[in-house]
Every structure is written in C-alpha cells, then in structure tokens.
Amino acid sequence: MYVVDNHIHLGQPGVHVSEHIYKELRKNWSERGFRYHSTEVKTERRDGEMLVQVMDEVGIDVCCVIAGNWNRVLPPEQRPYNVPNEFVASQVAASNGRLVGICSADPIVDPWGAADEVERCVRDHDFRGVKLYPTYAHFDPRDRACEPLYEAASALGVPVHFHMGFTPVCGADMKLQQPWLLDEVGQRFPKLKVVICHMGYPYTGEAMGVVARNPNFHADLSALGFYHPRTAYQIIHDFGCVNPWDRLLYGSENPFMWTFHKTVMNINEQARAIGMPEIPEHALELILGGNAARLYRLDRSTQVRGQAQAEQAA
C-alpha cells in the first residue's frame, strides 16, 4: 500500500529545538513509556537522511516534513524553537523525492512578509504546504493579520496546516487550540485548503464538524498513536459518518512513524473485536496515501522506497 506520512517535524534537539521545549513536548510520552507501543517505538529521527532510512525500514513512501518558529513568544531561556524553511528545503532536496516540504511563516510579525515567504518557498523550493501554530505562537487564526498568507496559499493552491488540540507545552495558549476557530477562516476563504492536525484531539467531534462544513478542509490522524488502537478506530469510523473518505489524511508525529501506519492498516482488527463496521479497504488506501498524493500533487513514479536495500542485495 502507498503510504504518505503527512506529519513529521524536522529539527535537532539542542540545535533547532531547545532542551526545555523538547522536554515539554515529550514529558507525557516519556513518563508513560508509550503505553501501547513501548516495545516498538524507537529513537526519533529529525534529519532527512535518517528519516529516509527509517521510511525504507518500516514501509513509508513519502513524508511531509515541517518547518516552524515560535521564538517570538518564548522567553530567552526557553529558546529556540526555530526550524528554518531553508533547513527543511536542504533536507528535502537531498531526499531523492522521498520528503515533501511544508514551510512555515509568522503572520503576526509581518503579514505581507509572511505571504511573500510562502510564495518564495513554493516558487524556489517547491514546498507543498504551510504550517501554522496558533496555540504555540499565541495568535487567533481568525486574526485579520493572517489574511495575506491565506490569500497567498489560496492562490498557490497549497494547503495550510494548523496545529489544533492538545499540547503538553505549558506556554501554549489552550484557548487557541480549538478547531471551531477555523470555521470562520473557511467561510471567509472558501478556496483555502486546510488540514486540521491531530484531528484537534480531544476536540475530535468539533474537528469533524468543521471539516464537514468546509469543502476544502481535511483532518489528519497525527499523534493519535498515543492511544489504544480502538480509539483510533472509533475516530476514523466517526469521521466517515459525517465526511467523505477523501478528506482524511494519515500522519504519525515523529515517534509514532515506526508503528502508527501499521495500526491504521490493521484498524479493522479493532472493528471486528467490538462488533463494529469495518473501514472499507478503498477508504484505508485513500487515508494512508491516496488523499495526500492528490493534495500535495505527488508523482508516485519518483518514489524509490527500498532502493538502498535492493542495491545492497544486488
């Protein structure tokens, strides 16, 4: 099955991400030992070469890799969180088509500059999307300052990813995590393609409703590897009750890239265990890769999964 992981972060701890932020992001995970994946999850990989090695090992064709910068709201002792677009571009360029770049820009500091940066990343580096972090960077996605970026993304046809839902980082603003904030964005910019990351968990029902109201909205499954596979099944099932299957994307979040796609591939084991309807096979193919191939305009013929192993065997 063709697999696209829609949600992987680049940036090395201690270089692009401070030890403080890294520990904040990981504290719930480390304390609980990945309760349902403790024997499978391995060390994270946050540079392109290592990511491709993992992708070949575990069976992933393409990863979308994400930039970001929250330095504006971090006190000096907590900085940096700064994964530059140029760093992401360099990793994508060296990946032989296996990585797809998702740029980032801060619409609050310089609204028109943020729009220009998105246009530059798409034009010069062939980035296929934009990531925004309202809860981390302390801005409301309905803020009029965001409009130039939304207009640029609409004109370029690239989706805007929004972190929505829970984060363990205490400096993040919880009132800016709720998916309903994006509904007004969709109504004002009906051509804008949007991805609600993490299905907005724990506001998953809200995220499903927002996607259902806005024809160019999508949601992804990233970070749901935290939970028992039955939870993932219930979310996928419920999403399909109110939305077409072509609006849901697979994503892992870094530690879960080793395992979570296998959970989704085998999600009907959970359906059978509790006597619920199975997710259609064609829906799983769309979720795991087909929808991303369409949204990011991927050319499957450029994928070379397993080439390194094949060359070694020869």
Per-residue pLDDT of the chain (314 residues; tens, 9 = 90+): 999 999 999 998 889 999 999 889 888 766 666 677 655 655 666 788 889 999 999 999 999 999 999 999 999 999 999 999 999 999 999 999 999 999 999 999 999 999 999 999 999 999 999 999 999 999 999 999 999 999 999 999 999 999 999 999 999 999 999 999 999 999 999 999 999 999 999 999 999 999 999 999 999 999 999 999 999 999 999 999 999 999 999 999 988 999 999 999 999 999 999 999 999 999 999 999 999 999 999 998 876 676 544 443 33
Instruction: List Cβ neighbours of 177 (8 Å cut-off, separation of 6 or more).
Output: 134, 135, 163, 164, 165, 166, 167, 200, 203
Which 3 state secondary structure label does DSSP give 131? strand
β-strands 62-66, 99-104: how paired? parallel
Whether residue 9 contacts residue 48, with contact meaning beta carbons closer than 8 Å, is answered with no
C-alpha to C-alpha distances, 37 to 14, 59, 190, 212, nearest whole angstrom: 26, 17, 39, 32
- Model pTM? 0.95
Specify the DSSP class assigned to residue 170.
Answer: T
Specify the DSSP class assigned to residue 150.
Answer: H
What per-residue confidence (pLDDT) applies to 46?
77
Residue written as tokens 């028109």?
112
Backbone angles phi, psi at 217, to 5 degrees: -95, 150
What CATH number does residue 273 fall under?
3.20.20.140
Q: What is the 3-state secondary structure (H, E, C) of 28-44?
A: HHHHHCCCCCCCCCCCC
Q: How far apart are CA 158 and CA 119, in angstroms?
A: 10
Cα R_g (the chain), whole angstroms: 18
Instruction: List Cβ neighbours of 85 (8 Å cut-off, separation of 6 or more).
Output: 67, 101, 103, 104, 105, 117, 121, 125, 127
Backbone angles phi, psi at 7, to 5 degrees: -150, 85
Q: How far apart are CA 67 and CA 87, in angstroms?
A: 8
Q: 200: closest CA among 176, 172, 234, 184?
A: 176
Specify the DSSP class assigned to residue 278.
Answer: P
* Number of separate domains in the chain: 1
Domain with 150 in it: 4-313
What per-residue confidence (pLDDT) applies to 33?
62
